[in-house]
């Protein structure tokens, strides 16, 4: 399902149907609504009662989702592309870090794109790329102004799956989407009659085809980063930590890698200070909120029992007290 507008859904067929149909305009069966099942763009659906000449049908069932993003509401996303500018606004490592962590939290593949490559000197671009490779990414510099990198990005996004771009505002996400989907405006204006986006239709996310099986959401995703609530979930969001832990494990299973004895992660990596400041923020938030309300849904990464979190917080506050005493 590639677009949700007013009372209709646009459904792209896996193959080509009779009368060369590639897409159907579908209504939702009422029973889908009754079971409370909400359809997301990106959902795989079963269509019934197809009128091929009119290219109409009705969505009868929605397949189970592999992933579900809320901002934007996209099902089965398989790639989040974090987009930041090199200049205007200047690349800000703490901000990029938080966007990368938010992208990693979705659990899907993360790509990194650096825009406005035309605004930096080649040696500065080189330095940024080398630094961010150290973070565990393969940054792709692009310039929509000069066209650099657009074809490389298109190739990365032509792998089957749904991609969503995200990043701070003003970095050039919309320019990038337009560069990747030049027919976008054309397609929007080609939609006729009651489907046309008017004052009364809500603007929803829509998926555009980049290659067979490869779709791109036309709406940039989250533009405000979001950290996990449980401090133990922070480390695995860093490729550097994942890599180090694949080689050796820390002595304590709930090690928070802040210079603890037997820590296999250490501090000899560029993002370590950013890791520590995010950890501080997560711990401060956990402390501020107090014990979690048991009525809340458990975290996405499974059930972490309360005692372990509380214990870590106690350890931390003891450590803070000791530090405080030492500082006095
Ligand atoms: P968004 O908020 O991330 O969607 O960013 P936009 O696509 O709206 O772009 C923000 C500004 O950056 C606009 O003024 C664009 O013209 C400019 N811009 C976008 N891409 C480039 C680029 O490759 N080079 C330069 N110099 N400016 C760009
Ligand atoms: Zn550790």
From the CA of 153, the nearest ligand is 1
Which of 142, 172, 221 is the pocket-test mutation for ligand 1 (most atoms within 8 Å of CB)? 172
Q: SS3 for 258-302, per residue?
A: CCCCCCCCCCCCCCHHHHHHHHHHHHHHHHHHCCCCCCCCCCCCC
CB 116 within 8 A of CB 85: yes
Which of 175, 184, 218 is the pocket-test mutation for ligand 1 (most atoms within 8 Å of CB)? 175
Closest CA to 235 of 253, 222, 223: 253
At residue 148 the predicted structure's pLDDT band, cuts being 50, 70 and 90, is very high
pLDDT digits (tens, 9 = 90+) for 31-42: 666 566 788 999
DSSP string, 197-229: --TTS----BEEEEETTEEEESS----S----S
CATH class of 68-217: alpha beta
pLDDT digits (tens, 9 = 90+) for 157-197: 999 999 999 998 889 988 898 899 887 653 333 333 334 33
Delimiting residues of CATH 1.10.40.50 domain(s) in the chain: 231-291+306-327
| pLDDT value at 292 more than 80 | no
For the entire predicted model, the pTM comes to: 0.82
Residues with CB under 6 A from ligand 1: 115-116, 118-119, 143-145, 169-175, 220
The CATH architecture one would assign to domain 231-291+306-327 is Orthogonal Bundle (1.10)
Minimum-distance ligand 1 atom for the alpha carbon of 220:
4
From the CA of 170, the nearest ligand is 1
Mean pLDDT of the 262-275 span = 96
Delimiting residues of CATH 2.40.50 domain(s) in the chain: 3-62
Q: Higher pLDDT residue, 323 or 49?
A: 49
Distance 258 CA to ligand 2 centre (A): 7
Delimiting residues of CATH 3.40.50.300 domain(s) in the chain: 68-217
Distance 144 CA to ligand 1 centre (A): 8
The CATH T-level fold of domain 3-62 is: OB fold (Dihydrolipoamide Acetyltransferase, E2P) (2.40.50)
């Amino acid at each position: 399902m590639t677009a949700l507008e007013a009372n209709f859904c646009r459904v792209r067929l896996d193959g080509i149907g009779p009368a060369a149909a590639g897409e159907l305009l579908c209504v939702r069966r009422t029973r889908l609504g009754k079971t409370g099942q909400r359809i997301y763009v990106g959902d795989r659906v079963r269509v019934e009662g197809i009128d091929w000449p009119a290219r109409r049908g009705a969505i009868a069932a929605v397949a189970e989702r592999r992933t579900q993003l809320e901002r934007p509401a996209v099902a089965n996303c398989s790639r989040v592309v974090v987009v930041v500018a090199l200049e205007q606004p200047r690349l800000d490592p703490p901000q990029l870090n938080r966007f990368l962590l938010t992208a990693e939290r979705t659990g899907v593949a993360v790509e990194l794109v650096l825009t406005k490559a035309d605004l930096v000197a080649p040696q500065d671009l080189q330095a940024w790329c080398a630094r961010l490779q150290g973070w565990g990414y393969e940054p792709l510099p692009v310039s929509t102004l000069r066209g650099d990198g657009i074809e490389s990005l298109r190739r990365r996004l032509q792998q089957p799956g749904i991609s969503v771009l995200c990043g701070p505002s003003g970095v050039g996400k919309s320019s990038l989407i337009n560069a990747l989907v030049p027919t976008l405006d054309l397609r929007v204006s080609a939609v006729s009659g009651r489907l046309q986006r008017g004052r009364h239709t809500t603007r929803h996310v829509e998926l555009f085809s980049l290659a067979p099986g490869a779709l791109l959401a036309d709406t940039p995703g989250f533009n405000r980063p979001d950290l996990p609530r449980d401090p133990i979930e922070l480390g695995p969001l860093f490729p550097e930590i994942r890599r180090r832990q694949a080689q050796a494990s820390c002595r304590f299973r709930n090690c928070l890698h802040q210079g603890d004895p037997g820590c296999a992660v250490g501090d000899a990596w560029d993002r370590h200070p950013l890791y520590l400041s995010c950890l501080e923020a997560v711990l401060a938030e956990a402390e501020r909120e107090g014990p979690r309300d048991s009525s809340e849904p458990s975290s996405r990464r499974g059930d972490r029992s309360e005692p372990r979190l509380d214990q870590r917080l106690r350890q931390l506050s003891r450590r803070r007290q000791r530090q405080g005493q030492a500082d006095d």
